[in-house]
Amino acid sequence: MADNYEYDVFISYAVEDKIEIVTELVGQLKNSGLKVWYAGQELRVGKSIEEVIKEGLNKSRYGVVILTHNYFTKDWPRKELHALWGKNDSLIIPIWHKLSTEDVKKYDPLLADKWGIESSKGIDIVAAEVIKAIENHKKEGLVNRIAVQKSVKSGFSFKNILTALSILILAAISLWFFVIRDLPGNNLIKETVESRIDVLQAKVINDHGAEMSKQNGEAATIEQVAKYHERYESFKSQYRNEYYFKTGYADFSFKKNVEPALGIEIDHLTPRNNFGFTYPNIFVIDYLPSPHKMDVKTIFINTQPIEYTILNEEKIDDTTYTVEVSYKNNIRYLSIDLTYSKRSDWIKKREYHFQGFLPFETYQFKKEDDKWVFTAVL
């Protein structure tokens, strides 16, 4: 049988175990010359995890399964495991990480009876035993191919052909049943995420345009903005800062809530770094309320395209499915209102208003009338 696999090894693991064991093991296997399929490196922007992992399973000859308590409680790793069983269980190399035989029996009796490598030996030894197992299996495969070639010369066995076809059919059914069946489609997930991006972006632009028209705002430079902020800082008086962040699904207020939600330190945003943006469109609205009071709004619109990556998908139960998404360039709008007076007895105020996406969001899909529909961003 010809070996047409692009990868030697498919790594099946729970994302919670990535730092503790997976990353180092993958590095050692790659350094040994093995071609390793690893979700941490293969997932690409805008591509469904389901599609990428199915592709990895099909292109990999062996499966290294890193079994942990996390692994057995996650929906997707167990689907990968069943798909590997469907291909050929002799090609599965289990690694037991912080698990006893009784633990494995409780989760999967078939795996408890299968030879495995204990991670307590150390990553170096685990990697060496994985490599040895693969080399031994390749040698056995070479002997078997020679035997098959000899038998072909003396005539085909109809019984053997039927057996091989049956195995292939069962493998295909297993892959479909455990990986493809009864999940929200790739198009639904992609369209949902991209629709949310388009809707929020359109709202930001429309609201901004309406405000600029109503308040006679105008385009500005970062140097102009810096002067307004320098003047605000120069006035010595009591002050109050206020912070707001809207995502379209959640509203945050107060610095203690807004900063963790955005994942940034707001005090680090200054005119010197364009308030965290790369080539933003900048605007100013000068309200000019009175000779003694200044009220200015500086506005930043993010011009960089938002990018997203699907990090994880999980079937919670028969009717609930979640998709975790991360964003790049997630802050789409920032306005800073500066209110201050020449009178020292006035309290000056600075208001930050952010609009955009959380750095990480979880999309929830529900099955209604035998059809998956998007229901919420959690």
Expressed as residue numbers, the domain containing 270 is 186-377
131 and 230 in a single domain? The answer is no
Domain termination site, one of 156, 180, 204: 180
239 and 98 in a single domain? The answer is no
Helix (H) or strand (E) holding 83: helix 75-87
Cα-based distances in Å from 211 to 80, 216, 304: 51, 8, 22
**Per-residue pLDDT at 39:** 73
Domain termination site, one of 180, 199, 229: 180
Domain termination site, one of 180, 195, 210: 180
Within a domain: 2? no
176 and 197 in a single domain? The answer is no
**Per-residue pLDDT at 221:** 92
- Give me the number of domains the chain comprises: 2
Within a domain: 345? yes
Catalytic annotation present for 80: yes
Nearest to 48 by CA among 224, 180, 230: 180
How many helices (H) and strands (E) are present in the chain, helices listed first?
A: 12, 16
**Per-residue pLDDT at 356:** 95
Bridge partners, 64 (sequence order): 11, 93
175 and 201 in a single domain? The answer is no
Check 80, 135, 191, 368 and give the catalytic one: 80
**Per-residue pLDDT at 354:** 96
The model carries a pTM of 0.54
129 and 19 in a single domain? The answer is yes
Within a domain: 1? no
Nearest to 203 by CA among 243, 244, 248, 245: 248
Within a domain: 173? yes
**Per-residue pLDDT at 336:** 94
The identity of residue 14, as a single letter, is: A
CATH number for position 151: 3.40.50.10140
Within a domain: 150? yes
248 and 295 in a single domain? The answer is yes
**Per-residue pLDDT at 60:** 85
156 and 190 in a single domain? The answer is no
**Per-residue pLDDT at 292:** 67
192 and 210 in a single domain? The answer is yes
| Cβ count near 92 (within 10 Å) | 20
156 and 216 in a single domain? The answer is no
Give the CA count within 13 Å in the CB-facing half-sphere of 76: 24
| Cβ count near 88 (within 10 Å) | 13
**Per-residue pLDDT at 2:** 43
Q: What is the pLDDT along the chain (378 residues), one digit of tens a residue?
A: 345 788 888 888 888 888 889 989 999 999 999 999 887 555 544 445 566 677 778 888 888 989 998 888 877 777 777 777 766 545 788 899 998 888 887 777 666 666 688 898 899 999 999 998 888 877 765 544 444 444 444 444 555 556 666 666 555 555 544 444 468 888 899 999 999 999 998 889 888 888 888 888 899 999 999 998 988 888 888 889 999 999 998 999 999 999 999 988 999 999 989 898 988 999 999 876 666 677 899 999 999 999 999 999 888 888 899 999 999 999 999 999 998 876 667 788 999 999 999 999 999 999 888 889 999 998
110 and 240 in a single domain? The answer is no
216 and 288 in a single domain? The answer is yes
256 and 323 in a single domain? The answer is yes
**Per-residue pLDDT at 192:** 92
